[in-house]
Amino acid sequence: MTSTQTPLRLAILGTGGMGISHAREILAHPDATLTALCDINDAALDRAATRLSLTAETGPQRFTDLDLLLEQPDIDAIVIATPHTQHPDHIRQSLQAGKHVLCEKPMATTAADARAAIALAEQNHLTLAIAYQRHGEARYKKAHEIVSSGILGDVRLITVLIAQDCLQNFLPGATWRADPNLSGGGHFMDTGSHIVDMMLWVSGLEPERVYAEIDNHGTLVDVITALSLRFTNGARGVFAATSLSAEPWREELSFYGTEGVLNIRSEGLSYQTKTGDKIYPRTEGRNTRPIENFIATIRGEVPHPQAPPMYGLRVAQVTEAAYKSANSGQPERVG
C-alpha cells in the first residue's frame, strides 16, 4: 500500500508487549510514522528497538521522560500502553499537550477519572479512543449488528465467561499486574475489561446494579470473579472470570432475547430464533485494528473511534461498583 497523504506522527508510551504490538502496526501503516518511543525503563526501550528491528540512527527518537516527549512538536498522537492506574494521568498530560490519544484498556480504573478524560478530550477537540480491539473484529461487529436489529427481541439475560490459564501474572511480585497500586485490580480489571465491554456493547444495555463475589486466591488482586448484574430495562446478567483455568483461553457470551438467542464462542458465532433454524452468520469480514481506526478517525475518514471513550467510562462504572460490592457484601449501584 502507498499513500500521498502526509503521514500522521505517532509515539508509543510504554514499550512493553502491547506497546511493541502497536508500534509494529504503525510501522506497517502507509499513512503513519513512528516518531518516538517512551518508557521509564531503558531496557524496555532497547528490547522494543531490537524486536522492531529499529536502529539508533534511523529509528524513532527514544525518551525516558514523558514531559520531554510531550514537548516534541513533531508528534500528533500518543499511544498509551502503560500499567492501568497510570492511564488517567498519561491521557491528561497527552491531551493537555495537544496530542490525540489511543489508550490501552482499561481507559481508567474509576468512573471519575474516565469522565475527566472524556471531558478534556472534548474541550480540546482531540480524539480519545480505547484499544478495545473486539469493536473492530468481524465476529463481534456481526453480533452487535444482529442484537441491534431486534431479531432476538428484547435481551433479558446475558451470560458471560472468560477463563484463562494466567494466574502466574498475578502472583505477588511477578509483574505490575500483581500490584494493585499499578494494576487497579487483577484478572477482572485486565482481560475482564474486554469482556465487560463486549457484554455492554453487543447488548446495548445499561447496567444499573451489580453484586460481586471476588476471590484473590492468596494474591493481592482478584483472580476469580463472579458477578450478578441488573440492567436498567430489568434484564439480568451473569459474568464469570477466572485466571485459574487449565485451558489457555475460553471466551463465551450468550444473549438471550424474548425471540431468540445469540452465542459467541471460540469456534464462532451463531444465533437461533424461536421461528427459525440455527444460523451461523458469515464473519470472515476484515478486522479493523485499533491503530488503523485511530488514524482514520484523526484524519476524519470515520466519524468517531470504533471504541469510543464512553465505553471506557461504562466499563469503569461496572468494575468500580463490582469492587465496591465485593467489599461491602451488598449489591451496589452502577454510576
83 sits near ligand NAD (criterion: CB under 6 A): yes
Specify the residue, 72 or 228, whose C-beta has the smaller distance to ligand NAD: 72
242 sits near ligand NAD (criterion: CB under 6 A): no
39 sits near ligand NAD (criterion: CB under 6 A): yes
117 sits near ligand NAD (criterion: CB under 6 A): no
Indicate the SS3 state at residue 125: coil
**Interface segment toward ligand NAD; rule CB under 6 A; list 32-40, 115-123, 241-249, 262-270:** 32-40
- CB 294, CB 129: distance < 8 Å: yes
Spatial separation of the C-alpha atoms in residues 200 and 155, rounded to whole Å? 11
**Interface segment toward ligand NAD; rule CB under 6 A; list 35-43, 108-116, 264-272, 280-288:** 35-43
**Interface segment toward ligand NAD; rule CB under 6 A; list 81-89, 244-252, 257-265, 318-326:** 81-89
DSSP H helices, the chain, are: 17-28, 42-51, 66-71, 87-96, 111-123, 138-149, 180-183, 191-203, 290-298, 309-328
44 sits near ligand NAD (criterion: CB under 6 A): yes
- CB 69, CB 94: distance < 8 Å: no
Give how far Cα 217 sits from Cα of 108, 192, 225, 319, Å. Answer: 25, 17, 11, 19
Q: Least distance to ligand NAD from the beta carbon of 278, Å?
A: 30
**Interface segment toward ligand NAD; rule CB under 6 A; list 14-22, 50-58, 217-225, 293-301:** 14-22
15 sits near ligand NAD (criterion: CB under 6 A): yes
Exposed / middle / buried, residue 58 (Cβ in 10 Å: 0-12, 13-18, 19+): exposed
C-alpha cell read off for 109: 480504573
Indicate the SS3 state at residue 331: coil
Spatial separation of the C-alpha atoms in residues 332 and 313, rounded to whole Å? 17
Q: Least distance to ligand NAD from the beta carbon of 329, Å?
A: 28
Specify the residue, 41 or 233, whose C-beta has the smaller distance to ligand NAD: 41
Q: What is the DSSP string of 165-230?
A: E-GGGGSTTSSGGG-HHHHSSSTTTTHHHHHHHHHHHHH---EEEEEEEEE-TTSSS-SEEEEEEE
Q: Least distance to ligand NAD from the beta carbon of 185, Å?
A: 11
From 8, 16, 109, 294, residue interacting with ligand NAD (rule: CB under 6 A): 16
From 82, 93, 317, 325, residue interacting with ligand NAD (rule: CB under 6 A): 82
315 sits near ligand NAD (criterion: CB under 6 A): no
| Contact set for ligand NAD, span 128-157 (CB under 6 A) | 131, 133
18 sits near ligand NAD (criterion: CB under 6 A): yes
From 7, 27, 40, 165, residue interacting with ligand NAD (rule: CB under 6 A): 40
Pairing between strand 260-265 and 244-257?
antiparallel
Which positions touch ligand NAD (CB under 6 A)? Answer: 13-19, 38-41, 44, 66, 81-84, 86, 104-105, 131, 133, 176, 190
